[in-house]
Amino acid sequence: MRLFTYWRSSASYRARIALNLKGLAYHSVPVNLVRDGGEQNRPDYLSRNPQALVPTLEVDGMPLTQSLAIMEWLEETYPQPPLLPREPRERARVRAFALAIACEIAPLSNLAVRRYLNDPLGITEAAQAAWHQHWLARGLSACEAMIASGEGPFCFGTSPTMADCTLVPQLYNARRFGHDLAPYPTLLRAEAAMLALPAVQAAAPEAQADAA
């Protein structure tokens, strides 16, 4: 398997965590999103990933895209250790948490949106900072409420799930924007449990060969 990845992309980070938790070996292919107009926009990459996004997981030459779909594929193909509970309603709660990050937080601070806020919108740096804080606060508060009644230490119990694989990169991203994480003790507890795992440590942005 080959993972097309960028060290600081939170979606790539999700996929790396899931691959490592499953104990799967893969070959990393760095895609530099910022150099020379972005390697993700080159025709050979677009043929794999028409969205021009990372990650792409290539399996026997077939490209799989979208980090949450990649995690589901990993779960179906390599069931151990599981990244979803067994009971359907519990699975639904895990997926809803991951989607709350992937659909309502991450899309509003990704590279393409950050560029659009600059040009053509041309909004001030202060207004851009406020934009990011707004969506982070709104989204992370909801995520905290979604798991606050749980016993932990992970988002949904005593072992990592797709929820945790999605949470860790989102909190990494929130720190990049200087967001105060104190209001989210349950999220921080889950993050700490994840970051104690060597598999998660090996997936960290700074541990990647393409880290700048």
Interaction site with a second copy (CB under 8 A): 46, 50-53, 59, 62, 64-66, 68-70, 72-73, 76-77, 88-89, 91-93, 95-96, 99-100, 102-104, 106-108, 112-113, 116, 120-121, 123, 127, 130-131, 134, 138-139, 141-142, 145-146
Cis upstream peptide for 82 (omega within 30°): no
Sequence-distant (≥ 6) Cβ neighbours of residue 31 within 8 angstroms:
4, 5, 6, 39, 40, 45, 54
Asked if residue 164 lies in contact with residue 13, where contact means CB atoms within 8 angstroms, the answer is: no
Q: At closest approach, how far in Å is the CB of 168 from a second copy?
A: 18
Nearer to a second copy, 47 or 209 (CB): 47
Q: At closest approach, how far in Å is the CB of 76 from a second copy?
A: 4
Nearer to a second copy, 106 or 171 (CB): 106
**Residue 195 corresponds to which tokens in the numbers above?**
């970051």
Nearer to a second copy, 127 or 211 (CB): 127
- Rounded-to-integer distance, Cα 105 and Cα 103, Å: 6
